[in-house]
Each structure stands twice: as structure tokens, then as C-alpha cells.
């Protein structure tokens, strides 16, 4: 095995971005400052949204967004079992109860047709995930939310650059949270941002993000233009640094190219694997959308493959190719089973997908040669 290990994901960092990070480090201002302000403005422009709040991670972004919605104990948030644990953890940490509905077998997104029957008097928020970067049906989602008077928090960790009917995720709706973790569509090492059109929610998130500090509260009672501040609630420490923003400014400029390459590679898998009996490939919805292909996740057909997903991942690893698992069903983790009484069989479609799903290598700097190598190895495993 002379060939180098091929990871399932790898960040793509340009020289311009590296130079900007170095300039920042040499500038004398490395935490939240001018580069975060510049990145914030670039994101506002990108999303055409009035309020964008960069934060240390999408996890904290989800948590702060839910806290700012003032949920009370017993309040319910409806989400999907096919997501990273952070989605449910944020709900619990915000003091609410996660209520799950099963997924759509084709798109792997939350089945919006099941949401209405999961709504109770305690439901406050619908929290869908744009899985793999495929937008949920936003028209249907907001119809339900408006009908029942619910807030919407879109976990858009996979979905910067994705579009629904010609509009970017983040350019309309209630609240979106994006991730800039190294495996995501663009990175700031760790990081994320919250996007909203709700000014008072944005102001509350801004306080929660930084010690509960409110400069305007001081200004109301104090001298004009003072640097002083008031602490109006016990806040967190979730602000992004200028070093991260230095990277983010360039990643955002390069994002369209990243998404285009992700689409080429995903389409290459879709075509190459289309008649393999070993796989059930991702299916796309009828509505117009731009997929960002954060991950490419076929489901293994165990009988035809002669092996299960875990065995496939092991064999690939032995052949020097990395794969990812996104995700194991969150409701079956010990904490969620114990705290909320979830059991195997509760969400059969999600559980089936979670048993069979695998993320094949896909990242913007992946070459056609590397892509061929993945397909060749897969071919040799099954034939
Ligand atoms: C990555 C991810 C998160 C958390 O993002 P971080 O920036 O790592 O905190 C949340 N939800 C989903 C669906 C994710 O994939």
C-alpha cells in the first residue's frame, strides 16, 4: 500500500488566507476586532441579511439562539434524529425537550409531513437540519410554522452556499446557524455564525455571546460615547476572534468555487455508482435547489454488498481511504434513551439510514485522480 491515506474531508486553505492570518497575528489585535467586523459585513452582504453574529462554533450558535427564544422547562423543540449530537444537546442545554420526527427516506431530511402531528401546546420551535447541504422544503416548513405560530431555527451547519428556489439558505426565514468547522463547506478552524432578520433576537444573542454586556444600556444612563458598559444578564463567552475571521474572509470569497467542485465530485459519484446494486444513492427533491454537498452519503445495501457499513468502512481504511459516519441515530445514545425514553424502533427510517449510511471522500481540492482511486478501490472490494 504505497499510496498515501486519502481522508474523507480536508480543509482547503489558500495562500491568501494564510497571509491574512499571519498579518492579523502581526497586527497587534488578534481577538474580536476589525477583522471580525469585516467578516460580519461580508456575511451580511452574502446573505443579504441585516443581522449576522459570528460565534465560536455552530453548537454555541444553536444554544444561544434557543436561549434568546426564552424557552421554559417543558417547552418542546421538534427536530430530526439524523443529525450530529450538538443539535439535540443545544435543545437540552437551553432547558427544552427535544421531540423527534422521522426522516424522509429519499432526501434524508426531516419528514415535514410528520411535523404537524408532533406539535403540542408546549411546542415552541421547529429545528430542521439541511442534511448534507440539501435544503428542506422551506415553503412547507414556514407554512407549518406560521400556521401554528412557532419559531424556526434552521441548523444550517452543512448548508452555507446551498439554495432553495434560487435563494440562499440564510437569506430569508427566522434564524439560521452555520458551521465553519474544518470539515464543513468553509472553515474558520472552529467557528460559526447566526443569521436572523429579528433585531431584538439578534440583540439578545449579542448579549449572551459576550458576558451579558450591553453597551446601549450604559449609554441610556451614562455619558455619550463612553467605553463603559452594563452587564444585564449572565452571558457566555462565545465571540469569534480576528484570527478566525482573517481565515473566514478569504474562505467566504472562495466558497462559490468550493461548492462548484463539491457538485462536480458528487455528480461524478452519482453517475459512476448509479447501477451498482451495493448502493442506494442520495435522491433529490422536486423543488428547485442548489445542493452544497457538504457530504456525499449513499446507503449500503448489505445483501448485495456482502458486508455491512462498518465492515465497508474498515475495508476502505485498510485500503488507505477514509470514510465518515454522519450520523449514528442521536436518540439511541445513552443520555437520550435515559433522559427522554427513546428506544430502538421509534424512528425506523432514520435508524435504517443510520445503520447503512457512509460518507465517501469529498472535498474541494480532491482531484479526479483521487476520485477515480476511491471508485477503483470500491470496485475491487465488491468484484
Ligand atoms: C457540525 C455540526 C454542528 C456543530 O457545528 P460546530 O461548528 O462543530 O459546533 C451542528 N449541527 C450539525 C448538523 C453539524 O453537522
Distance CA 178, CA 176 (A): 7
Q: Are residues 195 and 314 both part of a single domain?
A: no
Is 198 in the same domain as 68?
yes
Does residue 325 form part of some domain?
Answer: yes
What pLDDT is stored for residue 222 in this prediction?
54
Same domain? For 69 and 211 the reply is yes
pTM over cut 0.75: yes
Q: Is the dihedral of CA 358, 363, 367, 368 positive or negative?
A: positive
CATH of the domain at 41: 3.40.640.10
Identify whether residues 283 and 339 lie together within a single domain.
yes
Within a domain: 318:
yes
**Range of the structural domain that residue 73 is part of:** 15-253
Residue 29 lies in a domain: yes
Which residues have C-beta atoms less than 6 Å from ligand 1?
57-59, 83-84, 86-87, 129, 155, 157-158, 179, 181, 192
Separation of 291 CA from ligand 1 center, angstroms?
Answer: 18
Same domain, 131 and 274: no
Residue 313 falls within a domain, yes or no? Answer: yes
Q: What is the pLDDT of residue 218?
A: 61
Domain boundary among 214, 237, 253: 253
Distance, in Å, from the CA atom of 138 to the CA atom of 284, rounded to the nearest integer, reads: 15
Examine the domain organization and report whether 221 and 298 are in the same domain.
no
Do 203 and 274 have their domain in common?
A: no
pLDDT (tens digit, 9 = 90+) per residue, 74-121? 999 999 999 999 999 999 999 999 999 999 999 999 999 999 999 999
Same domain, yes or no: 215 and 266? no
| Pocket residue to mutate for ligand 1, from 77, 86, 190, 251, most atoms within 8 A of Cβ | 86
As a whole number of Å, the end-to-end CA separation of the chain is: 19
Q: How many CA atoms lie within 13 A of 60 on its CB side?
A: 22
| 118 and 206 belong to one structural domain | yes
* CATH code of residue 319: 3.90.1150.10
pLDDT at position 286: 96
pLDDT at residue number 3: 82
The reply to whether 86 falls in a domain is yes
Tell me which of 226, 253, 280 is where a domain ends.
253
pLDDT given at position 228: 80
- Give domain status of residue 56, yes or no: yes
> What is the secondary structure of 299-355 as a DSSP string?
EE-HHHHTS-HHHHHHHHHHTTB--B-----GGGSHHHHHHH---TTSSHHHHHHHH
Would 273 be classed as within a structural domain?
yes
**Bridge partner residues of 53 (DSSP):** 194
Total domains in the chain come to 2
Rg (CA), the chain: 22
Which of 253, 274, 302 is a domain's end point? Answer: 253
CA of 227 to the centre of ligand 1 (A): 35
**For residue 156, how far is its CA from the centre of ligand 1 (angstroms)?**
8
Instruction: Identify whether residues 191 and 273 lie together within a single domain.
Output: no
Q: In this structure, is the dihedral angle defined by the CA atoms of residues 223, 225, 229 and 235, taken in order, positive or negative?
A: positive
CB within 8 Å of 131: residues ≥ 6 apart: 80, 82, 83, 103, 107, 108, 109, 158
Same domain? For 72 and 145 the reply is: yes
Residues of the chain under the 70 pLDDT cut: 1-2, 217-227
154 within a domain of the structure (yes/no): yes
Cα–Cα dist 209/231, whole Å: 12
- Residues 30 and 141 placed together within one structural domain of the fold: yes
Provide the edge-to-edge strand list for the sheet that holds 192-196: 51-55, 192-196, 175-179, 151-155, 123-126, 76-79, 97-100
Residue 91 contacts residue 66 (beta carbons within 8 Å): yes
**What digits encode the pLDDT tens for the residues 43-75?**
999 999 999 999 999 999 999 999 999 999 999
Amino acid at each position: 500500500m504505497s499510496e498515501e491515506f486519502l481522508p474523507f474531508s480536508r480543509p482547503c486553505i489558500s495562500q491568501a488566507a494564510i497571509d491574512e492570518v499571519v498579518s492579523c497575528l502581526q497586527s497587534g489585535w488578534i481577538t474580536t476586532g476589525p477583522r471580525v467586523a469585516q467578516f460580519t459585513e461580508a456575511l451580511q452582504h452574502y446573505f443579504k441579511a441585516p443581522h449576522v453574529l459570528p460565534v465560536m462554533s455552530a453548537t454555541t450558535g444553536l444554544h444561544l439562539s434557543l436561549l434568546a427564544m426564552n424557552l421554559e422547562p417543558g417547552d418542546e423543540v421538534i427536530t430530526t434524529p439524523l443529525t450530529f449530537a450538538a443539535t439535540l444537546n443545544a435543545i437540552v442545554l437551553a432547558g427544552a425537550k427535544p421531540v423527534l420526527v422521522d426522516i424522509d427516506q429519499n432526501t434524508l431530511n426531516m419528514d415535514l409531513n410528520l411535523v404537524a402531528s408532533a406539535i403540542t401546546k408546549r411546542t415552541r420551535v421547529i429545528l430542521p437540519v439541511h442534511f448534507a447541504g440539501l435544503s428542506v422544503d422551506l415553503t412547507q416548513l414556514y407554512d407549518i410554522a406560521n400556521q401554528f405560530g412557532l419559531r424556526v431555527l434552521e441548523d444550517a451547519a452543512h448548508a452555507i452556499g446551498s439554495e432553495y428556489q434560487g435563494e440562499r439558505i440564510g437569506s430569508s426565514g427566522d434564524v439560521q446557524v452555520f458551521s465553519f468547522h474544518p470539515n464543513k463547506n468553509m472553515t474558520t478552524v472552529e467557528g460559526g455564525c447566526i443569521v436572523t432578520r429579528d433585531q431584538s433576537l439578534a440583540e439578545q444573542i449579542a448579549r449572551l455571546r459576550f458576558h451579558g454586556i450591553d453597551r446601549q444600556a450604559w449609554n441610556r444612563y451614562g455619558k455619550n460615547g463612553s467605553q463603559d458598559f452594563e452587564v444585564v444578564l449572565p452571558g457566555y463567552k462565545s465571540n469569534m476572534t480576528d484570527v478566525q475571521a482573517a481565515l473566514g474572509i478569504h474562505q467566504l470569497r472562495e466558497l462559490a468555487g468550493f461548492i462548484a467542485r463539491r457538485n462536480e465530485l458528487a455528480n461524478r459519484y452519482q453517475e459512476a455508482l448509479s447501477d451498482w446494486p451495493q448502493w442506494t444513492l442520495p435522491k433529490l427533491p422536486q423543488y428547485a435547489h442548489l445542493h452544497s454537498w457538504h457530504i456525499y452519503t449513499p446507503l449500503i445495501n448489505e445483501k448485495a454488498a456482502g458486508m455491512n457499513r462498518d465492515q465497508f468502512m474498515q475495508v476502505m481504511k485498510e485500503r488507505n481511504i477514509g470514510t465518515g459516519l454522519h450520523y449514528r441515530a442521536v436518540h439511541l445514545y445513552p443520555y437520550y434513551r435515559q433522559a427522554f425514553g427513546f428506544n430502538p424502533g421509534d424512528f425506523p427510517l432514520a435508524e435504517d439510514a443510520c445503520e447503512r449510511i457512509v460518507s465517501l471522500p469529498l472535498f474541494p481540492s480532491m482531484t479526479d485522480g483521487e476520485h477515480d482511486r476511491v471508485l477503483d478501490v470500491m470496485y475491487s472490494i465488491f468484484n
